[in-house]
Every structure is written in C-alpha cells, then in structure tokens.
C-alpha cells in the first residue's frame, strides 16, 4: 500500500512509539489508512470513519498488526466512557458540523491521563483557499483558537504543538524553531494574506 508522506503522520508515529503495547488507540477519520504503515504494531487500534474504504477493509487488518475497523460518527462515538488511551484524528475536525461535540466525545472516551493527537489546516491559509475550502464545514481562524477549543475549558492541557509552513519563503534554509516563531507572528498579524500555509498538530492530555 502506498504511504502518504506527510510530516504530521511521521510526528504522530514518533509519539506513538512511546506507547505501551497494552494501549488502545482510536483513529477517527481513518480514510484509506495509507499512513498506518508508519505506526508501531505493538498497541491495539480501532479504526473508524463515516464511510469505510475498500482499501482499508482489504489490506489493513492483514498488514499492520492488531486493528479493528468500524463505521462511526465523530459526533457520537459509540464507545463506553474512558475506553481509550489515545485518540487520533488527522485533517477531520474541519469537516465536521459540530467540532465542539467531537471534542466532547474525545474527552469522554479517553481515560484519565489519556492523550489526543489532532491535526488541521488553519483557515485563511493558501492551502485552504486553493484546495480545501469546498470540503470544509468548520474551521479555525488561528492556531490560538484551535488550541483553545481543546484546552480552554481546562479539560485538556497542551503537551506539544507542531506547525509546518509549506511554502514559507526560505523555509529550508532556516532552523525549525525560528520558522515556528515566524509562523506565530504571521498567525496573529497577516494570516488573512495568502502568502503561506501550514498544518497544525496538537498533542493534548486529558486532565
């Protein structure tokens, strides 16, 4: 199966490598599941989406460890309270009618101390305007708003945040920390000007 080489998948795999083999992980919005080939095989996974792709049904259970596939609605996760150690969701929250309800559900199904790993594209960016806008229902105006959606009610605390500008000028010649600092400035000052775009990845922990 072809691997989708996106930085936030690799970063997620790096975080998951610290998991226990007894951890249970839920992936909401798995799509075709191309990126799962970089995830560790030790933990157990539940893979869900509103529609299950044939590629996922045909290939994933036989190639990438202990995985259960199910159809689900991100607004109403049909699992018991505190069922999972980790919830993943990549580039899904912006497609939901009610992101707040999804966040409520993530909190509910996570065990105390469990972690959520969530990625999205920030509204107003070049990627959003040129490629993704037609498919997005709910979006975040800034990284600050994205973080606040999870941490503003003190149910989660922020463990880590990663941002990657894609076409930021001279990106490859600058240290990552400097690029991230520049993105922070642009996020507050000139984000509406479509000069660049970036994905944002959050790692938050249930309080």
Q: What is the DSSP string of 55-88?
A: HHHHHHHHHSSSEEEEE-BTTB--S-TT-EEEEE
Is 1 within a domain?
no
**Which of 3-17, 172-186, 193-207 has the lowest average pLDDT?**
172-186
Higher pLDDT, 32 or 17: 17
Q: Which domain holds residue 85?
A: 7-206
Residue 156: which CATH number? Answer: 3.40.50.150
Provide the pairing of β-strand 84-90 with 24-28. parallel
Q: How far apart are CA 193 and CA 36, in angstroms?
A: 35
Is position 2 within any domain? Answer: no
- Higher-confidence residue of 17 and 6: namely 17
In a domain, 25, yes or no: yes
pLDDT of residue 58: 65
pTM of the model: 0.79
pLDDT at 99: 94
Examine residue 169 and state whether it is found in any structural domain, yes or no.
yes
Whether residue 149 lies inside any domain: the answer is: yes
Within-domain flag for 140: yes
Determine, yes or no, domain membership for 105.
yes
Residue 27 lies in a domain: yes
Percent of the chain with pLDDT over 70: 70
- Per-residue pLDDT at 125: 54
pLDDT category at 192 given cuts 50, 70, 90 is: very low
Among 206, 201, 155, residue whose Cα is nearest residue 15: 201
Q: How many domains does the chain have?
A: 1
Measured CA to CA, the distance from residue 151 to residue 139 in angstroms comes to 17
Beta strands in the chain (DSSP E): 24-28, 44-49, 67-71, 84-90, 110-121, 156-165, 198-206
């Amino acid at each position: 199966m072809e691997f989708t080489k996106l930085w936030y998948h690799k970063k997620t795999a790096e975080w998951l490598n610290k998991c226990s083999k007894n951890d249970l992980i839920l992936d909401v919005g798995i799509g075709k599941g191309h990126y799962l080939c970089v995830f560790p095989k030790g933990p157990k996974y539940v893979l869900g989406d509103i529609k299950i792709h044939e590629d996922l049904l045909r290939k994933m259970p036989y190639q990438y460890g202990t995985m259960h596939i199910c159809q689900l609605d991100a607004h109403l996760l049909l699992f018991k309270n505190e069922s999972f150690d980790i919830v993943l969701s990549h580039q899904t929250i912006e497609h939901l009618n009610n992101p707040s309800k999804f966040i409520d559900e993530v909190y509910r199904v996570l065990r105390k101390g469990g972690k959520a790993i969530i990625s999205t594209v920030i509204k107003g960016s070049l990627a959003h305007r040129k490629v993704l806008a037609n498919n997005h229902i709910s979006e975040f105006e800034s990284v600050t708003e994205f973080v606040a959606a999870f941490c503003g009610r003190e149910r989660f605390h922020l463990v880590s945040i990663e941002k990657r500008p894609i076409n930021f000028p001279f990106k490859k010649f600058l240290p990552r920390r400097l690029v991230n600092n520049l993105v922070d400035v642009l996020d507050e000052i000139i984000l509406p000007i479509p000069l660049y775009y970036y994905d944002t990845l959050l790692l938050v922990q249930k309080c």
